[in-house]
């Protein structure tokens, strides 16, 4: 519908331009700057209409209309039906149609069309001044612009060159814009894939670490303490259910674009931090959670805070449990500050056969290593914030991040 309306509007504009050019050519033939044509005066208007008609439909069939415009201008010039001294006006329609060809067709094709039209126009003007012009009756009054074939040829060449150059620039601009749009679309898809991959990594990584720890405990104490096995299985069941719900939420984001009416599922935020700490406690990490909210945090920032804390606790569960960990989140009107510090792994204090949960674990990633640290760093970088993670001199590991934001939730 929009395209049809645009074509209709362009067609009306082209028709108006064609009429204006036809009036100009017709008036020049009736009252030329040089000798009058030997054709009858009334023929000026049909000739002008015929040479200008291709302008009206130049957008629909550019190559065909270029051939039509040049194919009418050249015979009219050779036959002497044009205005001596203003023959270049006869090729204005050719220049306008050449603009459309250059704006739509590849450069090789438009250059060929421009060269053919230019050579044909030059040849027609030379034939006119060699054979037709000497036989015309002199003008009754001398003109300020006397007929002169180099001027005519120069004007035609300038017109055709300008039409081709402007059309080529327009086509280049359109192609550049189209490439930019494609690049932005591909970048958006890549960013969305990374965002979803980061979400799934945080959800699955945290949950599977907790499940693996509890399953290891249950496997080692199955005979000695069956009640602890039941508790471990209960944690595994609860964690599995919550993980499935989180995965469904993340995957639901993939379908939200195709179904605008689909309700958005809630995203995790500061209110979910206590449950996160409880999960970590069930895996052997004593979590001291402190949240100081000095301002209402936008949902997008709150989710990033939640994910950073989640990944930091996952690392503590995976690499240090059993241990003690302190989580501090401070919110003000401009910044969210996060600090997660664990004391490092410690030996079990209570008697009885307990599994060594640290056996075979990889060393804690430092600096830029580890997908979890990379994901946390990317979340901080997204808000123009800072991120720092590394072992402490006194033992353990520290994760710190600052997320600056505007009150409306946009990036600073």
Q: What is the 3-state secondary structure (H, E, C) of 110-133?
A: HHHHHHHHHHHHHHHHHHHHHHHH
Residue that wins the pLDDT comparison between 318 and 99:
99
Is residue 221 very low, low, confident or very high in pLDDT (cuts 50, 70, 90)? low
- Contact 210/282 with Cβ under 8 angstroms? yes
Q: Is the dihedral of CA 14, 16, 18, 21 positive or negative?
A: negative
Residues 6+ apart with CB under 8 A from 308: 338, 340, 376, 379, 380, 399, 401
Of 390 and 199, the structure prediction assigns the larger pLDDT to: 390
Who wins on pLDDT, 284 or 88? 88
Edge-first strand order for the sheet with 323-331 is: 285-293, 323-331, 335-342, 397-404, 386-391
Q: Which domains are seen in the chain, by residue range?
A: 2-182 (no CATH), 272-347+361-412 (3.30.565.10)
pLDDT at 206 over 70: no
Q: Give kind and range of the element (H or E) at residue 329.
A: strand 323-331
In this prediction, residues 250-264 reach a mean pLDDT of: 53
Choice between 317 and 65, residue whose per-residue pLDDT is larger: 65
Give the pLDDT confidence score for residue 375 in this predicted structure: 76
Distance in angstroms (rounded) separating the CA atoms of residues 16 and 129: 32
Q: Is the pLDDT assigned to residue 163 strictly greater than 90?
A: yes
For residue 350, the cross-strand partners are none
pLDDT digits (tens, 9 = 90+) for 351-381: 444 444 444 444 444 443 456 787 788 888 8
Q: What is the dihedral of CA 276, 282, 288, 293, to 10 degrees?
A: 20
Query: Nearest-CA neighbor of 67 among 93, 40, 103?
Result: 93
- 137 or 386, higher pLDDT: 386
Q: What percent of the chain has pLDDT over 70?
A: 71
Average pLDDT over residues 136-146: 64
Res. 401 pLDDT band, cuts 50 70 90: very high
Residue-averaged pLDDT of the chain: 79
């Amino acid at each position: 519908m929009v395209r049809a309306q645009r074509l209709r509007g362009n067609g009306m504009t082209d028709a108006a331009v064609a009429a204006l050019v036809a009036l100009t050519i017709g008036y020049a033939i009736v009252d030329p700057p040089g000798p009058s044509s030997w054709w009858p005066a009334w023929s000026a208007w049909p000739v002008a209409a015929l040479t200008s008609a291709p302008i009206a439909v130049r957008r629909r069939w550019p190559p065909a209309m270029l051939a039509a415009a040049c194919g009418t201008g050249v015979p009219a010039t050779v036959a002497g039906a044009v205005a001596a001294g203003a023959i270049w006006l006869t090729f204005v329609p050719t220049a306008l149609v050449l603009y459309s060809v250059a704006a739509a067709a590849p450069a090789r094709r438009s250059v060929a069309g421009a060269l053919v039209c230019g050579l044909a126009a030059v040849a027609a003007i030379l034939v006119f001044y060699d054979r037709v012009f000497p036989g015309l009756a002199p003008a009754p009054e001398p003109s300020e612009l006397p007929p002169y074939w180099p001027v005519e040829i120069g004007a035609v060449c300038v017109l055709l060159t300008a039409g081709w150059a402007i059309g080529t620039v327009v086509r280049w601009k359109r192609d550049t814009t189209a490439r930019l749009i494609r690049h932005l679309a591909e970048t958006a898809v890549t960013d969305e894939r990374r965002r979803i991959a980061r979400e799934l990594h945080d959800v699955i990584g945290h949950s599977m670490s907790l499940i693996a720890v509890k399953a290891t405990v249950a496997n080692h104490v199955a005979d000695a303490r069956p009640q602890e096995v039941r508790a471990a299985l209960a944690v595994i069941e609860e964690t599995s259910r919550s993980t499935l719900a989180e995965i469904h939420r993340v995957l639901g984001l993939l379908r939200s674009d195709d179904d605008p009416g689909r309700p958005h599922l809630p995203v995790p935020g500061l209110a979910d931090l206590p449950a996160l700490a409880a999960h970590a406690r069930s895996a052997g990490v004593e979590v001291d959670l402190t949240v100081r909210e000095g301002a209402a945090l936008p949902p997008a920032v709150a989710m990033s805070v939640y994910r950073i804390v989640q990944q930091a606790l996952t690392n503590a569960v995976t690499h240090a449990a059993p241990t003690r960990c302190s989580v501090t989140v401070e919110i003000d009107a401009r910044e969210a500050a996060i600090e997660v510090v664990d004391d490092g792994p410690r030996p079990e204090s209570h008697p009885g056969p307990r599994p060594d949960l640290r056996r075979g674990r990889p060393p804690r990633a430092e600096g830029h290593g580890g997908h979890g640290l990379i994901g946390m760093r990317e979340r901080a970088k997204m808000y123009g914030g800072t991120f720092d993670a590394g072992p402490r001199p006194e033992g353990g590991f520290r994760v710190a991040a600052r997320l600056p934001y505007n009150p409306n939730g946009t990036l600073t």
